[in-house]
């Protein structure tokens, strides 16, 4: 069966490579373009709709290899394809007509509901280091929809530089693929392989300097698919392992969290757009466009590696190792956020506290030397 994964990846890659130039022409023809403004980094009119190439490559490659494969969860895959088609349609319409946030949210909820109806639900939680199982009951459906819609928008929020959203999504897909291989989840392995090939083919045209943007059609589809795959792979997990999908999507989720916190700290509405996201902060520090993207790729890879390590340690019931890893990641995340000013350029309480401790330690050392 391994050769089918290779064929599926190659098919998705080639279809995306062939489709993207056609989609680029189509985007110009229908007027689905992104004009530069004060919030945008690019300086020329760019075609959107790149998500159509990713979606077509993903779906077409699935129908190429699926007839030769058995033991696939066909109901779940059908739900993913239908839900994906809905978000791609909503995203494509937004790329052309700039839909209202309410309509986009309604479309995302509808797509998430289709997936939930197909059987993808976070329904059980196993208490770590024990045999007790907790059923989420009526919370299962709204929690799953909230997760899918939240991740879908988180991927959309980081789509601010050439190749950023596609690359981060590719790293997250690779992480889910590795974990699915560890667990022997054939359905998730196949879908991740196809998605990775589709992203790779599109990224050839999207990496800096980009020839086409994925637009909302691509960002929403990638976020929706990653959210669904993470639930499909970890829907019956321990409390500790529930952190795994959060770590896999650590970059977009943390950037979204810091955006909400930043607007709360500065007494701004959550819906107000700004130029203080992670990629904006790195650009303001003097990094080039390409270097900024590569740095964020590295951060995403660290999150992904941590997710794999956390999953392994939770399976081995290594409590203290798991706790230590989570604490270290949280500390690095908070210190890094304050250092680059992603929450506030002036309010940095943790760094200020550490500086005070360091200053007192230096004074004590100086006194001891004088004595």
The CA distance from 275 to 338, in Å, is 16
Range of the domain at 69: 2-370
pLDDT of residue 311: 78
Considering only CA atoms, give the Rg of the chain: 22
pLDDT tens track for 38-55: 555 556 788 999 999 999
pLDDT of residue 164: 93
Cβ atoms 311, 305 nearer than 8 A: no
pLDDT of residue 15: 97
Please give the residue that has the higher pLDDT: either 285 or 323: 285
Please give the residue that has the higher pLDDT: either 55 or 335: 55
Question: Could you give the C-alpha distances from 74 to 54, 120, 214, in angstroms and in order?
Answer: 21, 12, 28
Question: Could you give the C-alpha distances from 129 to 26, 240, 325, in angstroms and in order?
Answer: 54, 10, 17
pLDDT of residue 239: 44
DSSP of 149-205, one letter per residue? HHHHHHHHHTTTSTTHHHHHHHHHHHHHHHHHHHHT-HHHHHHHHHHHHHHHHHHHH
**Cα dihedral sign, 62-64-65-71:** positive
pLDDT tens track for 244-292: 778 888 899 998 888 888 888 877 777 677 778 888 899 989 999 999 9
Cβ atoms 223, 252 nearer than 8 A: yes
**Where does the pLDDT of residue 102 fall: very low under 50, low under 70, confident under 90, or very high at 90 and above?**
very high
Cβ atoms 246, 305 nearer than 8 A: no
Tally of structural domains, the chain: 1
- Hey, is 124 helix, strand or coil? strand
Q: Rounded to the nearest 10 degrees, how much is the dihedral formed by the CA atoms of 79, 85, 91, 94? A: -120
pLDDT tens track for 103-156: 999 999 999 999 999 988 877 665 555 555 566 677 889 989 999 999 999 998
H helix runs in the chain, sequence order: 2-30, 50-65, 74-97, 101-117, 140-157, 164-183, 186-206, 215-234, 243-248, 250-265, 278-284, 289-315, 319-340, 349-370
The CA distance from 280 to 342, in Å, is 9
């Amino acid at each position: 069966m391994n050769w089918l994964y290779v064929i599926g990846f190659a098919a998705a890659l080639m279809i995306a490579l062939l489709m993207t130039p056609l989609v680029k022409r189509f985007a110009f023809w229908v007027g689905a373009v992104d004009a530069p403004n004060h919030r945008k980094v690019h300086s020329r009119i760019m075609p959107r709709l790149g998500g159509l190439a990713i979606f077509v490559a993903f779906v077409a490659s699935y129908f190429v290899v699926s007839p030769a494969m058995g033991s696939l969860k066909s109901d779940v895959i059908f739900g993913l394809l239908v839900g994906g088609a809905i978000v791609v349609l909503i995203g494509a319409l937004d790329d052309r007509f700039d839909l209202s946030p309410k309509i986009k949210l309604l479309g995302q909820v509808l797509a998430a509901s289709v997936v939930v109806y197909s059987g993808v639900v976070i329904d059980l939680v196993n208490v770590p280091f024990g045999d007790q199982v907790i059923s989420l009951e009526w919370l299962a459906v709204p929690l799953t929809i909230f997760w899918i819609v939240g991740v879908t928008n988180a991927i959309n929020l980081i789509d601010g530089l050439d190749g950023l959203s596609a690359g981060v999504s590719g790293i997250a897909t690779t992480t889910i693929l590795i974990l699915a291989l560890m667990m022997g989840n054939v359905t998730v392995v196949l879908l991740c392989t196809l998605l990775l090939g589709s992203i790779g083919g599109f990224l050839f045209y999207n990496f800096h300097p980009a020839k086409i943007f994925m637009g909302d059609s691509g960002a929403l589809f990638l976020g929706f698919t990653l959210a669904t795959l993470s639930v499909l792979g970890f829907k019956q997990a321990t409390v500790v392992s529930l952190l795994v999908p959060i770590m896999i999507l650590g970059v977009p989720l943390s950037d979204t969290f810091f955006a909400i916190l930043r607007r709360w700290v500065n007494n701004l509405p959550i819906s107000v757009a700004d130029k203080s996201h992670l990629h904006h902060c790195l650009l303001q520090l003097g990094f080039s466009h390409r270097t900024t993207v590569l740095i964020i790729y590295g951060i995403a890879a660290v999150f992904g590696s941590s997710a794999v390590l956390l999953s392994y340690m939770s399976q081995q019931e290594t409590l203290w190792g798991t706790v230590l890893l989570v604490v270290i990641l949280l500390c690095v995340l908070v210190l890094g956020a304050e250092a680059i000013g992603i929450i506030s350029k002036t309010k940095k309480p943790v760094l200020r506290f550490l500086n005070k401790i360091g200053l007192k330690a230096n004074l004590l050392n100086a006194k001891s030397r004088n004595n």
